[in-house]
Amino acid sequence: MKQKTVYQTDNEGLFAYETLANELALAPGVYNIPYGAYEDAPPPAPAGMVQRRADGQAWSLVEDHRDARLWLVATGAPYSRHEEVEIDGVVSQYPGWGPVPAWLTLVEPPRPVEDAEADA
């Protein structure tokens, strides 16, 4: 049985891993490609970027902040990926990839003096 390498994405279209597709025994030349996998390899991703298949047609590179700590600009509260928050009357969320929206920051806000003293 022949196999070929395919490139699996997650439910948001982000490259997840490389895997193998098996040739179908009763259909030579046809491969059982998993849902969300593609035959063409994604481009190399430099640090801070991740490969994404947004339209099913081509790979692109998007900013990757999935492991970054984020804070709400308005309150300084920590933010978790996909958490729904109300911003100016609109419910919003950020998946951790793509440009960081203006209502979030990667810069940790200063802590109030009393919190810092309590930790000392």
Judge residue 10's burial from the number of C-beta atoms within 10 Å of its C-beta, 0-12 exposed, 13-18 middle, 19 or more buried.
exposed
Please state the domain count of the chain.
2
- Asked if 53 and 17 sit in the same domain, the reply is yes
Which pTM value belongs to this model? Answer: 0.82
Q: What is the pLDDT of residue 55?
A: 83
Range of the domain at 15: 3-63
**Count, residues in the chain:** 120
**Mean of per-residue pLDDT scores for the chain:** 93
- Asked if 86 and 58 sit in the same domain, the reply is no
Residues of the chain under the 70 pLDDT cut: 113-120
